[in-house]
Each structure stands twice: as structure tokens, then as C-alpha cells.
């Protein structure tokens, strides 16, 4: 298979974790006889510094011509700490979502047995958690009409949804549920919001086409509580933009590190794959960032290409590495390896499929013993 991939490393640790993801892709390409062509583009703070625009036209064109997009991270304290900044890195990502028609954000959340103790939640409550959140990405209050009164004493943000917007992501979520544990939970606020009532009405109609999928409905306040109390009750979660933003970030603490969570954004013109973490500028250039979320995003991209065996091989070997303790310092403060060594070790496993490799030397900064 031949694919053209737009690579947008972005800011902070983005370039470091992206580099490890490319390492993995190169090994996969060699082992399975694929050809991946990469073209890099500027985005975020680095793009502002060089061009004055967080999403230069050249970068957008690279994305439009690609089969898929790998996105690192975005954000810089220089802009975060300046409330008067007219141009911000995050504007680049929002524009990219709009230009590419990215309407569905998909975030899997899974616990690893060997890392359960890292979670702030009780083991008995989170053990076996394996869910995926489908968040509508291009509508709702974030993109509705907004403004302030002339006297500045009031403000408004309109939330608008159409049946078509709800249908297209709901169908993706139902199809995912059919291939998983056949349960879908719609999170809304239908007791108060008219848009939520439209969501519930539309999902009830679509559900008739998926009789094998159990559908439940939760108000967002109750859902937020249930995700903390017993997240392993969920399979596929479907929700609107703002609720999805909040719920998916809440869910990220379950695993014990935000550095373990990948995501995909599916669109009309392209699809984008990125870790859910931010740019973490304090760690930039120190080779300590956790690249697993970025590498798992690569696995999601391969699945999107229909390369299920390749994606599963990555997922299986990441689970193996985590079990062996080959993790960065966010997951183990004493015995850890560097960001680049995670990429090296995974690349070796994917290339050789070696059993009985001794990895102890990696904790001393050396390669494993074969």
C-alpha cells in the first residue's frame, strides 16, 4: 500500500513524539511492504513565529493533498499568558478542523493492568475499562453565533445542531458499537436543552437500524459522575461537541497518564490523528515526553487505512512494553527510559518480533540485549 501522510509536529514536545511515531511507521512499512511518503508542515506557535499565521496556506494545502494527517501538539506559554494576543496557536487547529470538515473525534480509553495503580481512581472501579468516545467536532456552541451587548454587560453563545450533523457521527458510533460490545450510550441534557432533545430524537430513529446494539441515555451531569464511579460500564459513548470535550478530558485521568491516549478526527476531506495531550513546553527538548499516545494514534491511522494486522501488532507490542516497565518517567519515577528509547524498543519488537529479549540495559540508556 502507498499512502501520502502530512506530518504536522507542531509545538513543545510535538516534534519529539512525532519523530518516534515516524520510526514506528518506517518499520511497519518495511515489514509489510508499504510505502509511506511524508510531507511536513508548520502549525501553531512555530508557524506564527515563522509566518505570522498559525495555519499557513502551504500547510493546509499539504493536508488537503494527503491521505492522512499526523498532528503532534499545539500551544505555547508565550500566547497562553498574553490575554491580548490577537493570534494564537490554537486558532490553527480550529481552522484546520473547519477547513478539512473534521466532524467526528474518536478517543479510546483503556486501562493497562500493570498501570492501574497509577490511576487516581480505585482499582476495583476502573479495572477492565475499555471504552471509546465519539465527540461531534464541528457544530454546537463552539461554532455558533456569539457576541456581547453594546454596553458589554451581557454576552451570548448560541448552540445549534442539524439532524444531518447528528446522523453522520451517530452512524459511525453505532457501527463501532456493532464491532465492539454492542452497547452505545448517548450523553446529553435533554431535560433542559432543545438541541439535546434533537440529539435524542435523532439517535432513537437511527437506533432502529441497529437492533443488535443496546442504547442507553444519560444526562451529562450523571454521566460525568458515572465515568468516575464505574467507567468499565461503558462501551461506546456518543455526545455533542462541548459535552464531549469535557467528558473525554475527564476520562483521560482513568489510565493514569494523559500520555497514553490517542485520538482520531474523521472528516469530509481528510482524517487527522493526534495524541490528546498538549504541547508540554516544560519537557520540550529533554527527551522525557511519553510518545505512546502518538504511536497509538499511528495505530488508529493504520486501522483507518484498513491495515488491521499492522495496527494490532503495534497495540500488542505497546501493551508488552508497558508490562515490561519500558515506560517514560511520567509512568515510573525511578525506572524509566527516554522518549527516543521507547521508539527504538518498539521498532525493534515490530521489526524482529523477538521473544526473550532482555531489556534491562535500556534503563541504563543502552539498547536491549538480543
**Is 156 designated active site?**
no
Choose the CATH number for 120-147+155-254 among 3.40.640.10, 3.40.50.720, 3.40.50.2300, 3.40.718.10.
3.40.718.10
Q: Is 212 designated active site?
A: no
Q: What's the fold here for domain 1-110+257-370?
A: Isopropylmalate Dehydrogenase (3.40.718)
Q: Cβ neighbours of residue 252 under 8 Å, at least 6 residues apart?
A: 109, 258, 261, 276
249 is catalytic: yes
Confidence (pLDDT) at 355: 58
pLDDT of residue 354: 56
State yes or no: is 235 an active-site residue. no
Catalytic-labelled residue, pool 122, 146, 157, 249:
249
- Could you give the dihedral angle defined by the CA atoms of residues 69, 70, 73 and 75, in that order, rounded to the nearest 10 degrees? -20
Determine the Cα–Cα distance for residues 134 and 117; give it in Å rounded to an integer. Answer: 27
**Separation between Cα atoms, residue 294 and residue 257, nearest integer Å:** 13
Spatial CB neighbours of 333, under 8 Å, sequence gap ≥ 6: none
Catalytic position from the list 157, 221, 323, 351: 221
To the query of whether residue 33 is one of the catalytic residues in this protein, the response is: no
What pLDDT is stored for residue 370 in this prediction?
A: 46
What is the value of pTM for the model shown?
A: 0.89
Q: Which of 142, 182, 183, 344 is catalytic?
A: 142
Apex 171 CA angle, 315 and 239, nearest 5: 80
Domain ranges in the chain? 1-110+257-370, 120-147+155-254
- Give me the tens of pLDDT residue by residue for the chain, a chain 370 residues long: 999 999 999 999 999 999 999 999 999 999 999 999 999 999 999 999 999 999 999 999 999 999 999 999 999 998 888 877 889 999 999 899 889 999 999 999 999 988 888 889 999 999 999 999 999 998 999 889 999 999 999 999 999 999 999 999 999 999 999 999 999 999 999 999 999 999 999 999 999 999 999 999 999 999 999 999 999 999 999 999 999 999 998 998 898 888 899 999 999 889 999 999 989 999 999 999 999 999 999 999 999 999 999 999 999 999 999 988 889 988 887 888 999 999 999 998 888 755 556 666 655 555 554 4
Q: Which residue in the list 3, 76, 188, 189 is annotated as catalytic? A: 189
Would you tell me the crossing angle of helices 339-352 and 308-324 to the nearest 10 degrees?
Answer: 120
In Å, how far from its chain's centre is CA 327? 19
Could you say which of 245, 287, 324, 344 is catalytic?
A: 245
Q: Kindly calculate the radius of gyration of the chain based on its CA atoms and give it in whole angstroms.
A: 21
Cell of 353: 518480533
State the cell numbers at 88.
494564537
DSSP secondary structure string for all residues of 120-170: SS-HHHHTT-EEEEEEE-SSSTTTS-EEE-TTSS-EEE-----HHHHHHHH
Amino acid at each position: 500500500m502507498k499512502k501520502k501522510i502530512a506530518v504536522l509536529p507542531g509545538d513543545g514536545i510535538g516534534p519529539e513524539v512525532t519523530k518516534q511515531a515516524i520510526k514506528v511507521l518506517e518499520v511497519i512499512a518495511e515489514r509489510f511492504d508499504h510505502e509511506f511518503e511524508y510531507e511536513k508542515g508548520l502549525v501553531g506557535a512555530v508557524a506564527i513565529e515563522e509566518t505570522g499565521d498559525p495555519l499557513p496556506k502551504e500547510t493546509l494545502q499539504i493536508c488537503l493533498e494527503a491521505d492522512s494527517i499526523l498532528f503532534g501538539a499545539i500551544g505555547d506559554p508565550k500566547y497562553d499568558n498574553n490575554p491580548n494576543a490577537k493570534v494564537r496557536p490554537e486558532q490553527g487547529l480550529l481552522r484546520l478542523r473547519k477547513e478539512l470538515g473534521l466532524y467526528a473525534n474518536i478517543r479510546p480509553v483503556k486501562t493497562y493492568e500493570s498501570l492501574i495503580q497509577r490511576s487516581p481512581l480505585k482499582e476495583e472501579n476502573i479495572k477492565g475499562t475499555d471504552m471509546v468516545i465519539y465527540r461531534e467536532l464541528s457544530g454546537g456552541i463552539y461554532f455558533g453565533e456569539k457576541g456581547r451587548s453594546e454596553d458589554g454587560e451581557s454576552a451570548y453563545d448560541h448552540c445549534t445542531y442539524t439532524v444531518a450533523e447528528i446522523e453522520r457521527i451517530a452512524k459511525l458510533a453505532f457501527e463501532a458499537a456493532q464491532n465492539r460490545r454492542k452497547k452505545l450510550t448517548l450523553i446529553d441534557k435533554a431535560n433542559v436543552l432543545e438541541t439535546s432533545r434533537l440529539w435524542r430524537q435523532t439517535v432513537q430513529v437511527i437506533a432502529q437500524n441497529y437492533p443488535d446494539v443496546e442504547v442507553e441515555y444519560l444526562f451529562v451531569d450523571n454521566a460525568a459522575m458515572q465515568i468516575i464511579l464505574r467507567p468499565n460500564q461503558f462501551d461506546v459513548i456518543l455526545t455533542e461537541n462541548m459535552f464531549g470535550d469535557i467528558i473525554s478530558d475527564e476520562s483521560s485521568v482513568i489510565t493514569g497518564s494523559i500520555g497514553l491516549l490517542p485520538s482520531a478526527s474523521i472528516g469530509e476531506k481528510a482524517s487527522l490523528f493526534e495524541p490528546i495531550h498538549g504541547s508540554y513546553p516544560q519537557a520540550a527538548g529533554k527527551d522525557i515526553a511519553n510518545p505512546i499516545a502518538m504511536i497509538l494514534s499511528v495505530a488508529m491511522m493504520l486501522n483507518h487505512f484498513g491495515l488491521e494486522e499492522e495496527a494490532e501488532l503495534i497495540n500488542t507490542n505497546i501493551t508488552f512494553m508497558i508490562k515490561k516497565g519500558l515506560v517514560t518517567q511520567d509512568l515510573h519515577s525511578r525506572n524509566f527510559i527516554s522518549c527516543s528509547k521507547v521508539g527504538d524498543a518498539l521498532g525493534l519488537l515490530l521489526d524482529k518480533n523477538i521473544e526473550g529479549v532482555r531489556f534491562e540495559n535500556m534503563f541504563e540508556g543502552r539498547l536491549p540485549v538480543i
